[in-house]
Amino acid sequence: METTDLPGPVPQLSRTATLVLLAIGPEERHGYAIMAEVARITNGATRLGPGGVYTTIKRLLDDGLIEESDERPDSALDDQRRRYYRLTGMGRAVASAEVRRLDSLVRAARPWALETVG
Amino acid sequence: MTERLYRGLLLLYPARFRARFADDMVQLFGDQMRRARTEGPPVAVAATWLRAIADLAATAASEHIRRDRTVGHSLTVSPSVSSRVLGLIGIVGGAALLLPFLPVLIPDLSPDQFNMRLGLFNIGAIAIVIAVHRRQASAAPRLALLAAVAAIAANALYLVMTEIGIGRTEPMGAGAFGLVYFYVGLAMWLTDAAFGFVTLRLGVVARWGAIALATGSLLAIMGMDRLELTSATNPTIFGTLALAGVALNGIGWILLGLDVATRRRVVAAQTQEVRPGG
């Protein structure tokens, strides 16, 4: 997979766009798999519907952060009509930047936030 | 039957979105329903329907609202400092042009004050042309550059003429100076109008600002002395139209200034370098 250098400060994505990018990750996924992965990585806290999934996919496609994959899995394994999506170099760079930003926030808050909850 | 009903509900989305994603959405909804029937509790089917309707209502509305926006809605950054400064200068310039329309706030201007106000207007116009050009240059490089250079040159020339006119005892329109001043003024209005039309066509910045600039500039030509369509002693409808045009021109620069100073920029298209690996 290719990584793209971003020209300047990385803009903050919407929460749903971030989740969809992270759900796709290094894989190639179709809409239902993305929806299931979003539910999995958020421990079921976020359950996107078809509208939420595909309006976000459209935006990410238009932004150049994801692209449709030409490859199709074995027809025995999956429906050939499904469209699969993967991250572009720019999408991977933006996702990485967002993860670093969230990681920095978590590290800053961990010393006191977890104690408070505990 | 269930999927057909869901497909019918997708009519709530914009046609272009439907053409692109309706089949995938129906398939995804079908997957959800099959899973609800086979793996979920008895109420799972009803719950899936309710969630789908809520999802559809929320996302169809938002898709209608943002369907005309440029791509990169989720990937934008604030305007640069230079864009904000140029936009602000343009807003001040446009406001300077509108000052005489507020006689309650601004008393009658002397000829020199009048010329200084026009100078401010020209500087504002040049600032906006530069800021707007930076945004729309990539959409149509030659057309955008031609319109910008012509408008900047004409406004700069008009600025020089009005500043030379400060302190002159003769009226600005008198003699050979007046003739040159007329043609430079005509060039300014025409190039402002052309810039407005090009900006409207490229659609990168505020549509209403471009429309006001283009129509206002053309209407303002009717008030030029040497065309003799109207005068202080013999006012006609052309005088009223010309005043409205000047006001529209000022409003146009202000709207464009607000746009370049406040509208967030898309950065996704600015990919510079791709490196393998990672």
Which of B13, B59, B277 has the CB atom closest to A52's CB atom? B59
Q: What DSSP assignment string belongs to chain B?
A: -HHHHHHHHGGGS-HHHHHHHHHHHHHHHHHHHHHHHHHS-TTHHHHHHHHHHHHHHHHHHHHHHHTTSPS-TTSEEPPPHHHHHHHHHHHHHHHHHHGGG-TTTS-PPPHHHHHHHHHHHHHHHHHHHHHHHHHHTTTSHHHHHHHHHHHHHHHHHHHHHHHHHTT-SS-TTSHHHHHHHHHHHHHHHHHHHHHHHHHHHH-SS-HHHHHHHHHHHHHHHTT-GGGTS--SSS--HHHHHHHHHHHHHHHHHHHHHHHHHHPPEE-GGG--EEES--
pLDDT confidence of residue B163? 85
Give the C-alpha distances (Å, rounded to integers) separating B78 from B8, B260, B265: 40, 10, 6
Which of A4, A31, A62 has the CB atom closest to B24's CB atom? A31
- The ipTM, to two decimals, is 0.84
pLDDT tens, residue by residue, B189-211: 999 999 999 999 887 777 889 99
B142, with CB counted inside 10 A (0-12, 13-18, 19+), is exposed
pLDDT at B160 over 70: yes
- Contact between residue B48 and residue B36 where contact means Cβ atoms under 8 Å apart: yes
B50, with CB counted inside 10 A (0-12, 13-18, 19+), is exposed
Determine the distance in angstroms separating the CA of B34 from the nearest CA of chain A, rounded to an integer.
12
Which of B21, B27, B276 has the CB atom closest to A81's CB atom? B27
pLDDT confidence of residue A11? 60
pLDDT at B55 over 80: yes
Q: Choose between B262 and B55: higher pLDDT.
A: B55
Q: Which residues of B touch A82 (CB under 8 A)?
A: 24, 27
Determine the distance in angstroms separating the CA of A117 from the nearest CA of chain B, rounded to an integer.
31
Counted residue by residue, chain B has a size of: 278
pLDDT confidence of residue B43? 86
pLDDT confidence of residue A76? 58
pLDDT at A22 over 50: yes
Strand, helix or coil for residue A4:
strand
Q: Which of A91-100, B142-151, B223-232 holds the top average pLDDT?
A: B142-151
Which of A4, A50, A60 has the CB atom closest to B28's CB atom? A50
Contact B77 A11 (CB under 8 A): yes
Which of B23, B24, B273 has the CB atom closest to A5's CB atom? B273
pLDDT at A23 over 50: yes
Which of B27, B270, B276 has the CB atom closest to A7's CB atom? B270
Residues of A with CB under 8 A from a CB of B: 1-9, 11, 13-14, 17, 30-32, 35, 47-55, 57-60, 62-65, 79, 81-83, 89-90, 92, 94
CB pairs under 8 A, 24+ apart, for B272-278?
B272/A5, B272/A7, B273/A4, B273/A5, B274/A2, B274/A3, B274/A4, B274/A5, B274/A89, B275/A2, B275/A3, B275/A4, B275/A5, B276/A2, B277/A2, B277/A3, B278/A1, B278/A2, B278/A3, B278/A89, B278/A92
Q: Which residues of A touch B55 (CB under 8 A)?
A: 48-52
Q: Tell me, what DSSP letter sits at residue A26?
A: T
Whole-angstrom distance, CA of residue A18 vs CA of residue A41: 12
pLDDT confidence of residue B85? 93
Q: Which residues of A touch B62 (CB under 8 A)?
A: 55
Strand, helix or coil for residue A66:
strand
Nearest CA among B269, B272, B275, B258 for reference residue B88: B258
Return the residue matching tokens 């006191």: A112
Q: How many CB atoms lie within 10 A of CB B103?
A: 9
Q: What is the distance between the terminal CA atoms of chain A, rounded to a whole angstrom?
A: 41
pTM: 0.56
Which tokens sit at B215? 């129509």
pLDDT at B275 over 50: no
CA nearest to B74 within chain A: A13
Return the residue matching tokens 């429309």: B211
Contact A14 B74 (CB under 8 A): yes
Contact A90 B72 (CB under 8 A): no
For residue B76, what pLDDT band results from cuts at 50, 70 and 90? low
- Contact between residue B121 and residue B149 where contact means Cβ atoms under 8 Å apart: no
Whole-angstrom distance, CA of residue A54 vs CA of residue B85: 39
pLDDT confidence of residue B271? 39
Residues of B with CB under 8 A from a CB of A: 13, 17, 20-21, 23-29, 31-32, 51-52, 54-56, 58-60, 62-63, 71-77, 266-278
pLDDT at B226 over 70: yes
pLDDT tens, residue by residue, B15-38: 989 999 999 999 999 999 999 988
Q: Choose between A39 and B270: higher pLDDT.
A: A39
Residues 6+ apart with CB under 8 A from A3: A89, A92, A93, A96, B274, B275, B277, B278
Q: In one letter, which amino acid is B51?
A: R
Return mean pLDDT, chain A: 83
CA nearest to B6 within chain A: A50
Q: Which residues of A touch B271 (CB under 8 A)?
A: 4, 7, 64, 89-90
Residue B175 region, left (φ>0) first, then alpha (ψ -120 to 50), else beta? left
Which of B28, B266, B270 has the CB atom closest to A35's CB atom? B28
For residue A116, what pLDDT band results from cuts at 50, 70 and 90? low
Contact A81 B76 (CB under 8 A): no
Over residues B112-121, mean pLDDT: 84
For residue A117, what pLDDT band results from cuts at 50, 70 and 90? low
% of chain A with per-residue pLDDT over 70: 80
pLDDT at A111 over 50: yes
